Amino acid sequence: MHHAFLAACNAELGNEASARSHSAEVLKREPAFCVENYLNTLHYKRPEDREHHREALVKAGLPLKPVAEIVTQATAGSATAAKPGG
């Protein structure tokens, strides 16, 4: 069973420590993991089921976008803010 699934289950059950532990294991094994890419590998018949799983994964602390993309956006934002008049 994938640690992302266990992280989501524990997040929904209110077991934050276990959810965070499984999330950390996901990112340790797959540093480029992101919720959107993971969900694209699953096939839900009902969109609301996919959305529920998405919310649980985020609640567990897993990144919605690849971490590298988040860092790049944050760096770009801080570079713009650091420019005079920016």
Read off the pLDDT of residues 17-67 as tens digits, 9 standing for 90 and up. Answer: 999 999 999 999 999 999 999 999 999 999 999 999 999 999 999 999 886
| Distance, CA of 4 to chain centre | 9
Nearest to 67 by CA among 30, 40, 13, 42: 30
Q: Report pLDDT for 66.
A: 81
Domain span at residue 66 reads 3-82
Query: Quick check: 85 pLDDT over 60?
Result: no
Residue 80, CA distances (Å) to 21, 36, 71, 73 in order: 35, 27, 14, 11
Domain count of the chain? Answer: 1
Q: Report pLDDT for 50.
A: 97
Q: Report pLDDT for 76.
A: 74
pTM for this predicted structure: 0.77
